[in-house]
Amino acid sequence: QFHMIKYEDLKWDESLGQGSFTRIYRGHKTDIRDGENYTTEVLLKELDAGHKNCWESFFESASLMSQISHKHLLLVYGVSVHGVQNIMVQEFVKYGALDLYLKRGRSVSVSWKLDVAKQLASALNFLEEKHIVHGNICAKNLLLAREGDQSQGISPFIKLSDPGISVAMLVVLDRIPWVAPEVLDAPDDLTLECDKWSFGATVWEIFNNGNSPLQGWDLDEKRQFYESFQKLPPSQWAELADLITQCMDYQAALRPSCRSIIRQLNSLITSDYEILHSTEPVTQ
C-alpha cells in the first residue's frame, strides 16, 4: 500500500543518529521523469536488521503516513527493501526535531510557540476526521521545516513525523507522560483520545523549551505519577495551564475535541499575554 523505491535509486549521505531500532541518514533519491534525472534530498530511516519482529509496525507507520497527505504531516516517499535491510524514505525536513531545536536554546516567542501548537492541533484535527490515531505525539516527532522570522512576520512551519515503531513495541512506561494512562492497561487499543493526552504533554514541552516533562524520573516514579493521578507542573499562564490540564484529563472521554483545542489556542493567540507579561511564561 505504498510506493516501493529501488535501492539503486538511493544515495546515503551523513548519518544523523539513531532512534529506537532504527538508524537515520540524510540522503538523496533519484527519479527519472519525462527523461530528466531529478534528485531529491531525503531522510533514510533504516530498520535494524536484528529487529525483524517489528518491521510490520515499521511499515504500518510508513503506510499510515503515506495513505494521507496534509501540509503538517511528514511526506513518506516510500520504502526500499534490500536483502535484510528495510528502509523508509521520507521527505527531508531542514531543521529536524523540535525538542532538539528548542533545547539548543533558540529563544522563540510565545506567539511562535502558539503557532506551532496550533499547527499540531490542525494536523490532529485532520487525523481525527479520518479516524486515524497517530499514537506517538511528542516534540521529538515534530519536525521544523521553517524557523520563521518574527521581524518579517514569517511564522514557523512544522511537520508531524511518523509514529515510528508502535507503542506496544517500546517500553510503554518509558513514554510516560506522553502516553495516555489508559494505554498502560491496554497498549493495543490506542484511541483518538490518546493523541489528545499526548498533545497536552507536547504543548507542555514546547512551553518548557523542549525539556522533557518528568526528565530523569525512573520507570517506577513514572508509573507512580499515573497511579497517583499527578499532573505536570502548571504554567504560570493560567489559560495555557488550563488547556494542558483539559487535554491531560485522566478520564479520556472528558478530553476536549480538536475543534475545542483549536478554539482555545485561538483565544490564547489573541490574548495579549506577551504584551502584558514581557517575560516568557516561566514554569517551575
Ligand X SMILES: Nc1cnc(-c2cc(N)nc3[nH]ccc23)cn1
Q: Which residues bind ligand X (CB under 6 A)?
A: 16-17, 24, 43, 74, 90, 92-96, 143
Nearest distance from C-beta of residue 113 to ligand X, angstroms: 20
Nearer CB in complex with ligand X: 142/244: 142
Query: Which residues, in sequence order, are CB contacts of 189 under 8 Å at separation 6+?
Result: none
Q: Give the type of residue at 40.
A: T
Q: What is the DSSP string of 150-192?
A: GGGTBPPEEEEPP--S-TTTS-GGGGTTTS-HHHHH-TT---H
Nearer CB in complex with ligand X: 77/207: 77
Nearer CB in complex with ligand X: 52/94: 94
- Report whether 113 contacts 207 (CB < 8 A): yes
Nearer CB in complex with ligand X: 16/214: 16
Nearest distance from C-beta of residue 94 to ligand X, angstroms: 6
Nearer CB in complex with ligand X: 10/143: 143
- By beta-carbon distance, which residue lies closest to ligand X? 96
Q: Give the type of residue at 229.
A: F
126 C-beta neighbours (distance < 10 Å), count: 18
Q: How far is CA 158 from CA 71, 72, 97, 110, 171, in A?
A: 9, 6, 9, 16, 27
Would you say the C-alpha torsion 148, 136, 170, 88 has a positive or negative sign? Answer: negative
Nearer CB in complex with ligand X: 159/196: 159
Nearer CB in complex with ligand X: 17/233: 17
Nearest distance from C-beta of residue 115 to ligand X, angstroms: 20
- The CA distance from 177 to 180, in Å, is 7
Nearer CB in complex with ligand X: 160/241: 160
Nearest distance from C-beta of residue 144 to ligand X, angstroms: 8
- The CA distance from 68 to 61, in Å, is 12
Count of positions (residues) in the chain: 284
- The CA distance from 28 to 34, in Å, is 19
- Report whether 28 contacts 11 (CB < 8 A): yes
Nearest distance from C-beta of residue 150 to ligand X, angstroms: 21
Nearest distance from C-beta of residue 75 to ligand X, angstroms: 9
Nearest distance from C-beta of residue 74 to ligand X, angstroms: 6
Nearest distance from C-beta of residue 270 to ligand X, angstroms: 32
